[in-house]
Amino acid sequence: MAAPARSAEAEARLAGLQLPQSGAWLHLARGAAVSRLRAMGLPVKRDEYWKYTDPTPLTVAAVPVAQVIPGETEGFDGIDCLRLVFVDGVFDAAASDNPALAGVEISRLAEAATQDIHWAHEVYGVLEARGQTPVARPLAALNSALATDGVLIRVVGKVSKPVALVYHQTSTASDAILHHCVKVEDGAELTLLESGPAGARSNTVMEVQVADGAAFHHVRTQGRDHERRTLTHVFARMGNASRFKSFTLTANGALTRNEVVLELIGADGVAHVAGAALGNGMFHHDDTVFITHQGTGCESRQVFKKVLRNGATGVFQGKILVKQSAQKTDGYQISQSLLLDDDSQFLCKPELEIYADDVKCSHGSTSGAIDDTALFYLRSRGVPEREAQSLLVLAFLAEAIAEIDDATIAEAIQARLESWLAAGAH
C-alpha cells in the first residue's frame, strides 16, 4: 500500500495540474488513470525500483530549470520522413508535415475529444495499466491522466516512409506530458522516429499494440542537452509472429529514465530493445526494461551500452520474465559500460525469472576501462589519442547500433554519434 506521505505528494502534484478537457472515452480513461495514481502514490527514492535513480526531479511540482542548447540539429536530418513537430510539448501544425500518408491514419490526441477513434479505446491507458503489475509505474499513470498532447497512429499497410516525432525545447521551464498510441494492424509495418528533448522536463508514454505478423521499428535520439530531465515509457503488446525493434541514442541530460515494458503475448514474436548512451559530467541515465514472455517460441534481446566520464552515472535494470506457457523462449540480455575515468559509475541489476522448462536465456553485464593496448596500437599507427579513443568508443557501441535494421537510419545515427565525439560533446 502507498504510504500516506507519497499520496500527499501525488495530491500536491495533481492539484497543480488540470485534467485536460476530453471526449467521453478519453475522459473515462483519464479518470481511471487518476485512480491508479492515487492508489500507488508517486515514486520515492526508497522504492526498490528507484533505488539507483532519484525520482524527485520528476515528481516535484516545480519544474527544474533546463537551459536550451542552441543550434542543435534534428536527429534525423536528411532522412525522408513525415515530420510531426512538438514544441515544449505542444503540437505545432504549421511546422509539421501534412499527416496524410498511405497506409497510416494519424490524429492528434488533443483532438481525440471530438473524434471517436475506436481502436484507441483499447490502447490508451490500457497497456499502461497492464504494465502496472508486477511493478508499479505511477508516473506512467500520471501521464495517462494528464497528458496534454500526443498522437494516435493506426497503421494498416506498409508505410512508405518513417513517421518522425520531432521535439523541440524552447523554454527553460517547460513541463511536457505527451502520450502516443500506436496500433500496427495485422501484417502492417511502421518505422517511428523520435528526436530531441520534449521539454525542460518531459514525461512521455507510448503505447504500442503490434498485431499478428506486424512490425514496429522505433529509433530515437535524445539530444545532448545537459540539463533536461526525461522520463519515457514504452508499453508494447505483441501478437503472433510480430516484430518490435527499438533503439535509443542518448547523449548527456541531467536525468534520463527510459522504461520499456513489453509483453510477448502471441507465439514466435521477436522483440529487440537496444540503447547507446554517452554521458559526460552531470549525467544520470537509466534504462529499465521489463520483458514478459507469454507466447511460445519468442525471441527477446536487450543490448545496452553506455560510455561514462567525469562522474556520469549509468543504470541498467533489465528483467526477463518467462511464464510457464512460454516454452522455447530465446532470451538474451547484455548491458555494458565503458568507464573513461574513476569518477563514473555503472549500476546494474539484471534479472531472469523463468517458469518454463524448455528455455534458452542468457545475460551478461560488464563495466571496464578503455583497452590501453588497443589505444597504443592505434596511436602507434599515427592516430591521435583523442581520435583513437573515439574509434574505440564507437567500436564499443557498435553492437547496439547494429540493432537498427534500416541502413540509412543506422548511418544517420552513426554520423550523429561521430559528430558528437568529434565536437567533444562527450
Partner 1 sequence: MLEIKNLHVKLEEEDKVILKGVNLTVETGKVHAIMGPNGSGKSTLSYVLSGRDGYTVTAGSAKLDGQELLEMEPEARAAAGLFLAFQYPVEIPGVGNMTFLRTAVNAQRKARGEEEMSAGEFLKVIREQAKTLKIDADMLKRPVNVGFSGGEKKRNEILQMAMLEPKMCILDETDSGLDVDAMKLVAEGVNALRSEGRSFLVITHYQRLLDHIKPDVVHIMADGRIVKTGGPELALEVENNGYADILAEVL
Instruction: List contacts with partner 1 (CB under 8 A).
Output: 371-374, 376-385, 387-388, 391-392, 394-399
The three grid cell numbers given for residue 283, joined into one nine-digit string: 549525467
Residue whose CB is less far from partner 1, 186 or 385: 385
Sorted by sequence, the CB contacts under 8 Å of residue 177 that are 6+ apart come out as 89, 142, 143, 146, 147, 148, 202, 203, 204
How far is the C-alpha of 163 from the C-alpha of 25, rounded, in Å? 26
The three grid cell numbers given for residue 42, joined into one nine-digit string: 508517486
Residue whose CB is less far from partner 1, 211 or 404: 404
How many CA atoms lie less than 13 Å away from 153 in the CB half-sphere? Answer: 33
As measured in angstroms, the least distance from the Cβ of 373 to partner 1 is 5
As measured in angstroms, the least distance from the Cβ of 309 to partner 1 is 19
Residue whose CB is less far from partner 1, 8 or 395: 395
Picking from 176, 154, 161, the residue whose alpha carbon sits closest to that of residue 230 is: 176
**Strand-pair category, 175-184 with 313-322:** unpaired
Residue with the three cell numbers 533489465: 318
Which helix (H) or strand (E) segment is 368 a member of?
Answer: strand 359-368
As measured in angstroms, the least distance from the Cβ of 370 to partner 1 is 11
Beta bridge partners of 245: 217, 272
Residue whose CB is less far from partner 1, 97 or 387: 387
As measured in angstroms, the least distance from the Cβ of 146 to partner 1 is 43
As measured in angstroms, the least distance from the Cβ of 391 to partner 1 is 5
Residue whose CB is less far from partner 1, 133 or 380: 380
How far is the C-alpha of 361 from the C-alpha of 247, rounded, in Å? 21
As measured in angstroms, the least distance from the Cβ of 174 to partner 1 is 38
The three grid cell numbers given for residue 329, joined into one nine-digit string: 523462449
Residue whose CB is less far from partner 1, 102 or 395: 395
Beta bridge partners of 178: 149, 204
